[in-house]
Structure 1
Amino acid sequence: MGQGQWTKSNREGYPVWIGETEKISLCIVPGLGSKVVSLVNRSTNREWLWSSGKALGNEGYASAFSAGDESGWDEMFPGIIESTYPDEPWKGRRIPDHGEVWSMSWVDSCTETELRCKVEGVAFPYRLEKVYSFASENTVRIDYSLTNLSDSPFSFLWAAHPLLQVREGMKLNVPEGLEEIEVSYSEGQRLGEFQDKRSWPNATSCGGTVDLSVIGATDRSVAEKYYFTNKLTVGMAALSDPDTGESITLRFPEDKVPYLAIWANSGGYGGYYHFAIEPATGRMDDLNHAMNTNEAATVEGRGTYRWHLEVTLT
């Protein structure tokens, strides 16, 4: 199969693209935010992406994320939580829940070895493109490019949002030197309030000390989002299963994607049990906040901002 190939198919009534090598398979739905709905290690038949069990779909542009299928891997851009843009010439324009692009249909084109997807903004003048290819038999690569279609600088947040199937005892691995997190959201304030800081990996919680690097048991009181406070010196994070030896590793350029966020849900949100590693271009979910703290990325007028993400399954 060489470096992989792409074939067109159908899933729950939606056209999809399936990319495969001998060791990895993924399925992408261009009409639903070009989301990834399956990511399989073909050597072990392990499906890494979580599904809510809902039918695929969403309620269209600017709809609530919770009104859609809430499954798989979405792109969050140009913001993460609902907010407004703070500066001219777009001051006051709304950024929807989870951003604009996850709920929109993307234009797709494909060769035998590459899948290209692109979308243009509604409230803001940009074009976001990504190209899927295979860096190796067990690694998928996504090359991103953001083009500013205006003459003014445009600040943004981008984060990957891959909801992963997990089980108790799995281990989160991050680069050395990360010793502190900042809370974005914590159900029942288990880790505290917005912007509270905690040590990593052993964080003080309302129930004592918790090791955040280990996936916990199902607990309807636990759902939290946090960011590491420091910029990354190495763009990498991984989730491993000590029971099977399997792992998923994300690698990305730390100069373009300098932050790392974690979404850990053991039942506190929706009764769901999943986990997300979220490389990000900015911090703390709210674009307004990120711009005020100089922790948002910016693309200059008529400029292009490029980055990539490689996902390896072992």
Structure 2
Amino acid sequence: MATEKAKIKESKLVDDIKEVTLTSDQYSVTVVPQLGAKITSILNRKTKREFLSRTNVDYRPRVYGDAFENYERDGADECFPTVGGCPYPNYPWQGTDIPDHGELWCLPWQHEITKDKLRTWVRGIRLPYLFERTISFETLARHEKQYIRLSYSVTNESPYDMPFLYAFHPLFKAETKSKLMLPPGADVVTWSSSEDRLGKPMTKHTWPEVTDFTLDKSYDRSVIRSSRTKESEKLFTTPLDQGRCALVYPKDEFIGFLFPAKRFPHLGLWVNEGEWHNLHQVAVEPSTSQVDRLDVAVGLDACGTVPAHGTTEWDLSILIGKGEEELTSVLGEF
């Protein structure tokens, strides 16, 4: 693995809000530190494909604790220490309300531009932690394939263990007949679906088929349908043996992830086919659990923990390419 050269430019986004763009010879990534270090763009410069969804809602400063859907509903955000808002379950912060989608997305982060890298960081409001993320372009030596590397660390600044949920939350542009690729052996369970079509929470389905119980009919959930479908659902995979996945577009361009399955043994799958705010989006979210709420996850013993005065680290690799041969080469068989 070798760090690639990157041109890094800071510019005005709107009002007093700045964005930072990292550009390599193949890709560009744009981050807005003041808006939760949101990633607003992942661009394949060679094909001009923008992978992240962008709505017509203006960017503006967040109000801490506000609802996630009151803002842009696009790009990629970081969810920690929960995904669904809930009271914190463990002493000494028991009962403390943690916002919808966690704290990170609604806080202004600090940032530092170093040689070929962008480091961003923020401290928690209701819990004493330091969350850091560094973005760079790297090369997979065995493939000579450039990829986008997100390196994370979370430091617990207290003398008590800190249970958490984490999910990377990218809202990708959906295209009809795009395909979700999961590693062999992965099945899915329902977390939510419009009108409970796919059953109550934790209803299991054998991937790629899911059952619409209102129609008593199964369909291939790996294939993204038209925005005219007017349906949406959130699913989770069963525990993964391999931390990898991909979204493949109709013209064979793909974006995929490599991540540590032992730390993040599940993928959250959010598919919105025109129901939620009339948007056509799909999210593939490396996650610590099969549930969105930390209080529920703790009860199931299905969460991560940052030890007292300890630090937890991980990497997420974003791979972009085109064609089945390249997909298999860098992400494996699906």
| Bin of the TM-score, shorter chain as denominator length | over 0.9
Q: CA RMSD in A?
A: 1.4
Identity of aligned residues (%): 33
- CA displacement, residues 225-275 of structure 1 (integer Å, 9 cap, x when unaligned): 11112x21111110112x322100111111222211100000121111100
Measure the CA separation in 2 of the matches of 1:76 and 1:279: 11
* SS in structure 2 at match of 1:88: coil
1:82 aligns to 2:85 (yes or no)? yes
Measure the CA separation in 1 of the matches of 2:277 and 2:171: 14
* SS in structure 1 at match of 2:46: coil
1:11 aligns to 2:22 (yes or no)? no
C-alpha contact 2:62 2:107 (8 A) present in aligned 1: no
Give the letter aligned to residue 318 of structure 2. Answer: V
Q: Normalising by the residue count of structure 2, what TM-score does the alignment of the two structures yield?
A: 0.90
Report what 1:200 is aligned to.
207
State the aligned residue count.
311
C-alpha contact 1:220 1:269 (8 A) present in aligned 2: no
Report what 2:219 is aligned to.
210
Give the letter aligned to residue 288 of structure 1. Answer: D
C-alpha contact 1:58 1:69 (8 A) present in aligned 2: no
Give the letter aligned to residue 29 of structure 1. Answer: V
Give the counterpart of 2:175 among 162, 167, 171. 167
- Map residues 1-314 of structure 1 onto 2, 5 A cutoff: 2-13=4-15, 14-136=17-139, 138-178=146-186, 180-205=187-212, 206-207=214-215, 208-219=217-228, 221-229=230-238, 231-241=239-249, 243-314=250-321
Measure the CA separation in 2 of the matches of 1:138 and 1:263: 27
C-alpha contact 1:109 1:116 (8 A) present in aligned 2: yes
**Gapped regions of structure 2 (runs ≥ 5):** 140-144, 322-334
C-alpha contact 2:53 2:75 (8 A) present in aligned 1: yes
Measure the CA separation in 1 of the matches of 2:72 and 2:180: 26
C-alpha deviation, 1:58, in angstroms: 4.5
C-alpha deviation, 1:17, in angstroms: 0.8
Q: Which moved more, 1:19-28 or 1:190-199?
A: 190-199
C-alpha contact 2:38 2:75 (8 A) present in aligned 1: yes
C-alpha deviation, 1:312, in angstroms: 1.2
Measure the CA separation in 2 of the matches of 1:63 and 1:104: 11
C-alpha deviation, 1:112, in angstroms: 2.8
Measure the CA separation in 1 of the matches of 2:123 and 2:146: 31
Measure the CA separation in 2 of the matches of 1:105 and 1:16: 12
**Change in CA separation of 1:2 and 1:280 when aligned onto 2, cut-off 3 Å:** closer
Measure the CA separation in 1 of the matches of 2:170 and 2:18: 20
Measure the CA separation in 2 of the matches of 1:313 and 1:70: 23
Give the letter aligned to residue 192 of structure 1. Answer: G
Q: Normalising by the residue count of structure 1, what TM-score does the alignment of the two structures yield?
A: 0.96
**Gapped regions of structure 1 (runs ≥ 5):** none
Measure the CA separation in 1 of the matches of 2:115 and 2:8: 6
Measure the CA separation in 2 of the matches of 1:177 and 1:23: 33
Measure the CA separation in 2 of the matches of 1:95 and 1:219: 35
Give the letter aligned to residue 169 of structure 1. Answer: K
Measure the CA separation in 1 of the matches of 2:96 and 2:69: 22
Give the letter aligned to residue 37 of structure 1. Answer: T
C-alpha contact 1:84 1:95 (8 A) present in aligned 2: yes
C-alpha contact 1:257 1:307 (8 A) present in aligned 2: no
Measure the CA separation in 2 of the matches of 1:192 and 1:118: 39
* SS in structure 1 at match of 2:227: coil
C-alpha contact 1:190 1:222 (8 A) present in aligned 2: no
Measure the CA separation in 1 of the matches of 2:194 and 2:252: 31
Measure the CA separation in 2 of the matches of 1:12 and 1:192: 43
Give the letter aligned to residue 224 of structure 2. Answer: I
C-alpha deviation, 1:201, in angstroms: 0.8
- CA displacement, residues 149-208 of structure 1 (integer Å, 9 cap, x when unaligned): 111110101101110011111111111111x21111111111112222222111111331
